[in-house]
Amino acid sequence: MSELKIVNYPHPALRLKCQPVANIDKDVRLLAGRMLELMHAREGLGLAAPQVAQDARMIVCHFPGPDEESPGQDVIAVNPVIVDTKGKLKDREGCLSFPQLYQDILRYKSVKVQYYDLDGKLNELVSSDLHARIWQHEIDHLNGVLFIDKMGPLARFGSRHDIAKFIKAFEDDVAGGKLPAGTTALL
């Protein structure tokens, strides 16, 4: 497997509707471990496979603990789905594929999620507030939905210059041949 790198908007991998993981094998475990390392190195709370240009329904998340002294919990979720939702909550959100861009996004306050762990065991849990936001954000990535798609008109207007900079940087990378391996197949 080549070097894993987070791709920035408007990389075409970010718009993929990812394929389900059919077999949890050595390659899936290796990808999950590398994604966790990369997420922590970038101080993120979640990372989805398409953000590293991989067509797989898999995410890694870090759920912070209730206080500063709690280390929190890392979760690797294969083929995750949201099966129930409750309430609404608007809060600040960012994305590792949009460095330094933050906006208030309306999400469900609580979600029930089902996913497989790396042992192939089906898990179901209910999360709320920040943890629910992380699940929703990362599962959206698996469907080619980005947090900018969830912005209201004013937030989108306020972010237009930042979004234009991402597009320009991507176009410069394409012109300069600086894209990660496998990218040209997606263009």
pLDDT, one tens digit per residue, over 10-56 is 999 999 999 999 999 999 999 999 999 999 999 999 999 999 999 99
pLDDT at 184 over 50: no
Tell me, what's the pLDDT at 69?
Answer: 83
Known catalytic residues are 138
The encoded tokens of residue 49 equal 């496979």
Confidence of residue 176 (pLDDT cuts 50, 70, 90): confident
Tell me, what's the pLDDT at 3?
Answer: 82
Tell me, what's the pLDDT at 66?
Answer: 83
| 181 in Cβ contact with 139 (< 8 Å) | no
Tell me, what's the pLDDT at 165?
Answer: 97
Q: Tell which residue, 77, 129, 81, has the closest CA to residue 108.
A: 129
pLDDT at 71 over 90: no
Those residues with Cβ within 8 angstroms of residue 31's Cβ, 6 or more apart along the chain or in another chain: 1, 4, 49, 52, 54, 56, 58
Top-confidence residue, 96 or 177: 96
Residues 107-155 have pLDDT tens digits of 999 999 999 999 999 999 999 999 999 999 999 999 999 999 999 999 9
* DSSP for 133-149, written as a single string: HHHHHHHHHHTT--GGG
pTM of the model: 0.92
